[in-house]
Amino acid sequence: MACKTLLAAGIAAKFQDEVREGVRLAVEQSGGVVPTLVGFLANHDPAAATYAEWTGKACAEVGIKFDLRKVERTQLEDELMAANVDPSVHGIMIYYPVFGSSQDQYLQNIVSPAKDVEGLCHTYRYNMYHNVRFLDPPTNAKKCIIPCTPLAIVKVLEHLHIYNPMLPYGGRLYGKTIAIVNRSEVVGRPLAALLANDGARVLSVDIGDVLEFHRGSGLQHRQHQVMETTLTADEALRQADVVITGVPSPNYKVNTSLLKDGVVAINFSSARNFNGDEVKKRAAMYVPSIGKVTVAMLQRNLLRLYAYQRADVEGAKAKQA
Amino acid sequence: MACKTLLAAGIAAKFQDEVREGVRLAVEQSGGVVPTLVGFLANHDPAAATYAEWTGKACAEVGIKFDLRKVERTQLEDELMAANVDPSVHGIMIYYPVFGSSQDQYLQNIVSPAKDVEGLCHTYRYNMYHNVRFLDPPTNAKKCIIPCTPLAIVKVLEHLHIYNPMLPYGGRLYGKTIAIVNRSEVVGRPLAALLANDGARVLSVDIGDVLEFHRGSGLQHRQHQVMETTLTADEALRQADVVITGVPSPNYKVNTSLLKDGVVAINFSSARNFNGDEVKKRAAMYVPSIGKVTVAMLQRNLLRLYAYQRADVEGAKAKQA
């Protein structure tokens, strides 16, 4: 069987179209308030600068105003706090690393949930892990923001029909075993939780151990559970229907011979974690990178936060009138 | 001049006496509600087990009930949430590392501010960095919890009369240069902020750079500011009136020949970062470790949180009556 290779640009296209149309309507309905994303660049990392430039281009393509602010790392917290309360700013993102230490996680929590397009503040992380989908129960008008890269991978999996629409919402990955080679707090662990919340059995592979995330037997559990396993990384790869990799090293390559025939292979690392020629002989579908889908999700999150902020503005006006 | 060596036990004694008396009064006034600290041990690290045992003994000595709960790391978050809402638990602490990754910082934020004796959740960290000293302005009945180890070092500096009581509160370190060799989020950076908030010029030494924390010229600034420097670690040590070390490695030793005559040397690492014989020839005062003061601060924080919880219980009763 031939492997189908899917590029991020193709998957992202429909989301970009949706965002473009969303921006057009937003500007029209607000009488000209252009959705505005502020990106903070507080390092001298060329990769971050490239990503920032790329965000800017992608925003220009869909009509979002992107304002890149280069600041000193020692000034970043003050700048974030100013942007948090500036009504002309609808979304905020930070190009990491800033300090390259756990101080960066402190900075994630300085961004207001009202403007956190990356979904990395504790409120969104907590809600995601606990499968809390709305910020304002019981009204449920404001959906929680989901971190961009994990969300992009969910959208890729939907595009590939790994999510089965015949199954009930919240259980559409039931029956699937998905290995994720990465357990970072920014992508690997939230992704494991999201996929487990949607019914998958997730094998989370990190240096040293494999954890299993699942919903328990059946679909009755409200949120995922995590358990220790004695599996090796190789055993996890052997069992997986879908393998998702995010190892930020050019030296790491998945051993293709371990994979099931007909596996689905997705890489979100900037390094290529699969040997393309090899994996195409084994996989049913292969997605070598997802960056453009991630940026589309960033924009989607921005539009959502913009809508909530506009609703608050209009609500306040209506109250006054 | 002979160096005065001060041991943590001696410095901790008066705080232990205060806590013991505070516990006695608390039990008496509440009709027998014993302040209760729950420690969660979710690793197999012998150092953590020893620290837990030590906490237990120190609590027994002052009349605090210490309840050590050994749990699986995959169950810790659920256990923390249960303890957060259990009225018989007044304080919660976690023996780190749990996952040994940035997931541990997520766990810090799961502990309710009402019970966070370690002061490591975002609310307390944010308030400390921003020099916000009360949880409930403008009432100002509830003081913020300050992380135990930084607080212990402040108390050590007060004990050594480095804080000058002739100066106004909030500026009692004005004129002092203090080098801190450690910039962790748990000790080094919060300590730098606290000391700068109190008027010191702090040189924060990390691998690769030295940052300066200060209050700006005079005492007019509400909170500390941070600026880059081109100082080397050696230059920072040369300028320091007080050197505080926290490098968790037996191989790191401060080069004593760099230090000022009459320097004050304080080590909070479990490793000995000063060569004792050498530093005693140079320093005016030397504190080789501070562990017992840290545990006393943990207990002090517990008593404070106990008092706030009791006040809430009594307030609710009064409202009902």
Across the interface, whether the CB atoms of B74 and A211 are under 8 A apart is answered yes
Q: Enumerate the residues of chain A whose CB falls inside 8 A of the CB of residue B228.
A: 72, 74
Q: CA quadruple A57, A62, A65, A67: dihedral positive or negative?
A: negative
pLDDT, tens digit, 9 for 90 and up, residues A60-97: 999 999 999 999 999 999 999 999 999 999 999 999 99
- Which pLDDT score, from 0 to 100, does residue B219 have? 46
Burial class (CB in 10 A: 0-12, 13-18, 19+), A201: buried
A103: nearest CB among B103, B185, B228: B185
Across the interface, whether the CB atoms of A103 and B226 are under 8 A apart is answered no
Q: Enumerate the residues of chain A whose CB falls inside 8 A of the CB of residue B183.
A: 101, 103
| Displacement of CA A25 from its chain's centroid (Å) | 25
What is A32-114's CATH topology? Answer: Rossmann fold (3.40.50)
Measured N-to-C along each axis, helices B291-320 and B46-62 cross at an angle, to the nearest 10 degrees, of 60
B152 SS3 class: helix
| Residue B222: pLDDT over 80 | no
Band of pLDDT at residue A223, cut at 50, 70 and 90: confident
Residue A271 in contact with residue A248, Cβ under 8 Å? yes
In eight-state DSSP terms, residue B267 is: E
Q: Report which of A301, A241, A251 is spatially closest to residue A272, judged by C-alpha positions.
A: A251
- Dist CA A177 CA A203 (whole Å): 7
Lookup result for tokens 């992608």: A58
- Which pLDDT score, from 0 to 100, does residue A52 have? 96
In the sheet that A91-95 helps form, which strands lie side by side, from edge to edge?
A: A65-70, A36-41, A91-95
pLDDT, tens digit, 9 for 90 and up, residues A260-270: 999 999 999 99
- Dist CA B318 CA A186 (whole Å): 46
Across the interface, whether the CB atoms of A72 and B228 are under 8 A apart is answered yes
Domain residue ranges in chain B: 32-115, 149-292
| Displacement of CA A152 from its chain's centroid (Å) | 5
CB contact, 8 Å: A251 with chain B? Answer: no
Across the interface, whether the CB atoms of B126 and A110 are under 8 A apart is answered yes
Mean pLDDT, rounded, for B221-228: 80
pLDDT, tens digit, 9 for 90 and up, residues B132-163: 889 998 999 999 999 999 999 999 999 999 99
A122: nearest CB among B122, B184, B189: B122
Burial class (CB in 10 A: 0-12, 13-18, 19+), B149: buried
CB contact, 8 Å: A240 with chain B? Answer: no
Q: CA quadruple A3, A7, A10, A12: dihedral positive or negative?
A: positive
pLDDT, tens digit, 9 for 90 and up, residues A154-201: 999 999 999 998 888 888 999 999 999 999 999 999 999 999 989 999
- Give B227 to chain A, closest Cα distance, Å: 6
B246 SS3 class: coil
Band of pLDDT at residue B169, cut at 50, 70 and 90: confident
Band of pLDDT at residue A222, cut at 50, 70 and 90: low
pLDDT, tens digit, 9 for 90 and up, residues B4-14: 999 999 999 99
- Which pLDDT score, from 0 to 100, does residue B142 have? 95
Mean pLDDT, rounded, for B224-241: 95
CB contact, 8 Å: B172 with chain A? Answer: no
Q: Enumerate the residues of chain B whose CB falls inside 8 A of the CB of residue A206.
A: 101
A71 SS3 class: coil
- Dist CA A253 CA B96 (whole Å): 32
Q: How is domain A149-291 classified at the architecture level of CATH?
A: 3-Layer(aba) Sandwich (3.40)
Q: A266: which strand partners? A: A244, A287
Mean pLDDT, rounded, for B111-139: 94
Mean pLDDT, rounded, for A138-162: 95
Across the interface, whether the CB atoms of A109 and B106 are under 8 A apart is answered no
| Residue A217: pLDDT over 70 | no
In eight-state DSSP terms, residue B22 is: H
Residue B92 in contact with residue B38, Cβ under 8 Å? yes
Q: Report which of B285, B307, B299 is spatially closest to residue B15, judged by C-alpha positions.
A: B299
In eight-state DSSP terms, residue B116 is: B
CATH pick for B32-115 out of 3.40.50.10860, 3.40.50.720, 3.90.550.10, 1.10.10.10:
3.40.50.10860
- Which pLDDT score, from 0 to 100, does residue B218 have? 46
Nearest CA in chain A to B212: A74
- Dist CA A272 CA A5 (whole Å): 14
CATH pick for B149-292 out of 3.10.50.40, 3.40.50.720, 3.40.50.12280, 3.40.309.10:
3.40.50.720
Q: Enumerate the residues of chain B whose CB falls inside 8 A of the CB of residue A183.
A: 101, 103
CB contact, 8 Å: B82 with chain A? Answer: no
Mean pLDDT, rounded, for B119-129: 95
Cβ partners under 8 Å of residue A62, min gap 6: A16, A19, A20, A23, A299
Q: Enumerate the residues of chain B whose CB falls inside 8 A of the CB of residue A126.
A: 109-110
